[in-house]
Structure 1
Amino acid sequence: MKGWDLFALLALGAIWGASYLFFALGVRTIPPLTFVAGRLLIGAALLLLFRRVSSHKPAGDPPRGAFWVMGFFNAALPHTLVAWSEQTIASGIAGVLIATMPLWAAGMTAWMLREERPSRRQLAGLLLGFLGILVLLFPDLRRAAHHYIVGEGAVVLAAISYAAATVYARRALRGIPPVQAAIGQLLYGGLMVFPLSLILDHPWTLSPAPISIAALLALAVLGTAIAYVMYYRLLQRVGVVGISLVTYLNPIFAVLWGALWLGEPLSGWVLGGLVLILMGVFLAGR
């Protein structure tokens, strides 16, 4: 990997790691459903604009209903769970727990895609990553802090949702250009969340703080539209194996951003769980 590609990969990890910081700042005064709807629809609109002024043109329609499935499992559900959970848990912990996604994906692949059974190394990674989750959550389990455990469980469920969407996309979106797939899942996911936002949050009555509005715009522009463009360009340059390294970088930056900007503590349990999860992800991704 060349120096510029490595720099771009680090930048992408820093951007997506900061997404959890933006979530934490945004949901302080913007309800999770409204925050997620805004992020998805603004991101989809920006990517539509990008496709219009670039050479990325639609190349056929995906199977019927595929975008609805991806919009739910890869956008609407996990984003809402993460936004809701960060009302009670630290953004760094959310980033670490999301990093378990490849572990769940490996298990689902063995179950749903028989031709891609995990190796012994990957199974060891699954067990090691699960141990990391237990270490990370041990203080809350010991204190029986119910509201923390529920929030952390919501993020794990979001990681499982991302994993299910990834396995589904391997077949359902085969041959669909990545930018078109991204636009579809963001747009359809936003259309699912938006009516719930209108019914439950009454966004016209809200008075969000400037920092929350800035977090929403930063996440939509930087963490969605720009990050997707960076991702797809890097994918063409360094391939699937190279781009997958960003999965390992996200939680590291999530913990660092949370500590630097929100004063979130870096306890031994957090650091120990982080190390074990990253080791498990590395083994499962081999």
Structure 2
Amino acid sequence: MSQKTAAPRWMVLVAFANIYIVWGSTYLAIVFGLDGIPPFILSFLRFLTAGLILFSWCLLKGEAFPTFKNWGRNTLCGSLMLVGGSGLVTWAEQFISSGSAAIIIATEPFWFILLDKKCWSTYFSQKLIIAGLLIGFFGVILFFVQSGNAASSSSAQLTAYLVLLGSSVSWVVGSLLSKRGTGNSDSTIMTTAEQLMAAGMVSLLISLFTKEWPGFSFAEVSLQAWGGLLFLIVMGSLVAYLSFVWLISVRPPALVSTHTYINPVVAVFLGGLFAAEKITLVQVGALLVILLGVLLTNIPGYKKQLLPSE
């Protein structure tokens, strides 16, 4: 791979801290945000506000207004990735800990392999990737078995775990559609703004359909919930994402993708430290098994991107 653009070391370090720690801490921020704000109202406020900020910034820079075709494609991708992905995570965290949610979401790399049909011939011709998939899904089964046998488990919690698996699949499908979209003349930031705004409006429709608004009052929202929402908007949807986009342009994607390993660890640690969330040794073991599977599936890509070609 060719050498990436030179960048100040301190900026690179700050950007990596953002995608490692900030993205990992959004799971805890959701817990705080749910303290008075229903899940899809929280998602509506988060996505729409962040999207409007990015959209306004793009227009001020002189970018053209998006075409109807781009709006349509990005509405679909944004709904799958953000509503189906992050929105369902928010819903699930009503019933399970933020650390447990992060562990299930750590399976996303496996779904990329299973759903990216165009690359199957490459993926399934490599023993490390196959081994990684098998080991990773063994970790998922271990996590589910332990959670299902726990004395405190309930049908709502088990449903939340299943919803999170669906959330991971939705994120991956939306990402693949976004990646393969053709004819998109918008910048990356404008595209993200469209997806965020669309996700905000879809979340609003869901919140109306699920009747979250009756009985909800902004005046009764706790200061902690407002802080969680503000963190999700500014740090989660703006700072961390922009750091990710910039890092991709200055560092090999294989290095940037290492946030996959760090985010669930950060989420589990912060959940225990600030929300008194408990996680069993078996669940920690399941996380390590899942991350080992992720590592094995990514080794071929790391070798290709980080090692000089002969």
Normalised to the residue count of structure 2, the TM-score between the two structures is 0.83
Query: Any gaps of 5 or more consecutive residues in structure 2?
Result: 300-310
1:179 equivalent in alignment to 2:186: no
Aligned partner of 1:238 in structure 2 is 251
Aligned partner of 2:156 in structure 1 is 147
Secondary structure of the residue aligned to 1:164 is helix
Alignment partner for residue 201 of structure 1, among 212, 216, 225? Answer: 212
Partners of 2:200 and 2:79 in 1: CA distance: 9
1:8 shift after superposition: 2.6
1:25 shift after superposition: 1.5
Partners of 2:273 and 2:183 in 1: CA distance: 40
Distance 1:58 1:246, change over 3 A: farther
Aligned partner letter, 1:46: I
2:84–2:171 Cα contact (<8 Å) kept: no
1:126 equivalent in alignment to 2:133: yes
1:12–1:246 Cα contact (<8 Å) kept: yes
Secondary structure of the residue aligned to 1:189 is helix
Aligned partner of 1:30 in structure 2 is 37
1:81 shift after superposition: 1.2
Aligned partner letter, 2:271: G
1:258 shift after superposition: 0.5
Identity %: 25
1:274 equivalent in alignment to 2:283: no
Secondary structure of the residue aligned to 1:201 is coil
Distance 1:50 1:243, change over 3 A: farther
Which string of whole-angstrom CA distances, capped at 9 and with x for unpartnered residues, describes residues 63-93 of structure 1? 5731121121111122221111111101011
1:98 equivalent in alignment to 2:98: no
Structure 1 range deviating more: 89-98 or 63-72:
63-72
Partners of 2:256 and 2:173 in 1: CA distance: 19
1:45 equivalent in alignment to 2:56: no
Which structure's residues are more often helix, by fraction? Answer: 1
Partners of 2:259 and 2:60 in 1: CA distance: 27
Partners of 2:85 and 2:149 in 1: CA distance: 27
Runs of 4 or more, structure 1, over 6 Å off, are none
Aligned partner of 2:241 in structure 1 is 228
1:63–1:173 Cα contact (<8 Å) kept: no
Structure 1 range deviating more: 130-139 or 273-282:
130-139
Q: Kindly name which structure, 1 or 2, has the bigger radius of gyration based on alpha carbons.
A: 2
Secondary structure of the residue aligned to 2:278 is coil
1:40–1:187 Cα contact (<8 Å) kept: yes
1:258 equivalent in alignment to 2:258: no
Query: CA-atom RMSD, angstroms?
Result: 2.4
Aligned partner letter, 1:255: V
Query: Any gaps of 5 or more consecutive residues in structure 1?
Result: none
